[in-house]
Each structure stands twice: as structure tokens, then as C-alpha cells.
Amino acid sequence: MAIFRSTRNTHDDPGYQRTSERMFELARLQPGFLGVHSVRDEDGNGITLSYWTDEASIRAWRAHDEHGVVRESGRRSWYERYMVQIARVERGYGWDAASEHAAAVPMTA
Amino acid sequence: MAIFRSTRNTHDDPGYQRTSERMFELARLQPGFLGVHSVRDEDGNGITLSYWTDEASIRAWRAHDEHGVVRESGRRSWYERYMVQIARVERGYGWDAASEHAAAVPMTA
């Protein structure tokens, strides 16, 4: 999985939202993509978790041309700072109020 | 590291914020704790990343009495659903607008 922690600057750029959505769409089309979860709070702090079948898929996504161009835009226009970490999911479990009990969940999404 | 993805229910409970802050304080006191990053958006979707020196520290935190009691409150009163994943950070890098370049960062916080 890839962890992307970021802080947006205070410029209100309509291009950011559009590009962000485009990146989610594009990521979903990549080989090895399993899923993505992204949250950003009112202060501009965001965490995006993306899940992939293997590390080669993550490297390929990092090397994707359009993704690279957008990364430049991110540095130039949208982010104060960000951090990327690559991690290996080892186990997981979930809980849902509807079923009222915890259960093992897929570790990869 | 531990990944906690959660969705709050729509009940506006002042006890939630207080207890959440208490859990951050308590986690910081645990052996092996390295750092925590937490974000929740306006729709109630949250991601909390906590970093630990080793898996034994994560297990000990999970087994902590007060944490266990709070987990019960979370299921009963605050969450629609949540998911926990344990992952091993393998590498990381960061970028900061102030320094205008990317750099390797500690992988553990």
C-alpha cells in the first residue's frame, strides 16, 4: 500500500478538485490497483491510502507520465508539504454497526 | 504501524471528542509509540495512522484496559463502522514547500 499524507496550502484553486478526481479515476485504471480511501479535514490535512497487489504496481503508478505532471502541479500550486510511505499490510479486521460484530477483512483494500 | 479507518455515526456526542483526545494522550504514553496522524472530514470519515517501534507495542496498546473500554463505547455510541490494519512501513520520502525539494524522511512517523 501507499500512504500519502499532505497539507494543502490556502489557495482556493478549482483545478485542485478536478485534478484530484482525475487522479483517482486514473489510478483505478492501473494494473494492480485494489482500492483507495481518502480523507481531508477542514484545515487542509489529508490522508490518502491506496492499495495495490504488489510493489511493482506502486512503482509503475509513480512512474506514470500524467501522474508525474500532476505531481509537479501539486508542488507548485497545491501543497504546503506531503509525505509518501510505502507499507506492507500484514493483517486487518473490521466492525460494522449493521452486523454488530467484528470480522476479518481483506488486508488489501 | 496501525491504520484505523472509521465512519462516525450522526449522533453529536460531546463525549466523543473528549474521549478521542484522551486516547491520543494515552497512546503517547505507551512504550514503543512513535507518532500519530489523524484526519476526519465533514462527512465523518476518518483515518488515523499510528506508528510504533514494533508489533509487540501495537499488541500491548490493543490490550490496554482503558483502550478496551473506549473501544466498547466506540462500537456502542460513535461509529457506524471501522477497520483496523497492521502494516509494516518499508520506505518513505517527503516534500516541503519551504525547502522546495523532496527528501527521505523517517519511515516510522
Q: Among candidates A72, A75, A89, A101, which has minimal Cα distance to A3?
A: A89
Cα dihedral value B54, B68, A48, A55, nearest 10 = 40
Q: Does A95 touch chain B (CB under 8 A)?
A: yes
| Shortest Cα distance, chain B CAs vs residue A79, angstroms | 7
Interface test with B, best of A38, A39, A86 (most B CBs within 10 A): A39
Predicted model pTM: 0.92
pLDDT tens per residue across span B2-53: 999 999 998 878 899 999 999 999 999 999 999 999 999 999 999 999 999 9
> Between A5, A39, A75, which is nearest B45 by CB?
A39
* Cβ–Cβ < 8 Å for A55, A68: no
Task: Using alpha carbons only, give the angle A6, A41, B101 rounded to the nearest 5 degrees.
Answer: 15
Measure Cα distances from A17 to A36, B12, B97 in Å.
16, 29, 20
Which residues share a beta bridge with B85? A92, B3
| pLDDT attached to residue B35 | 96
| pLDDT attached to residue B106 | 59
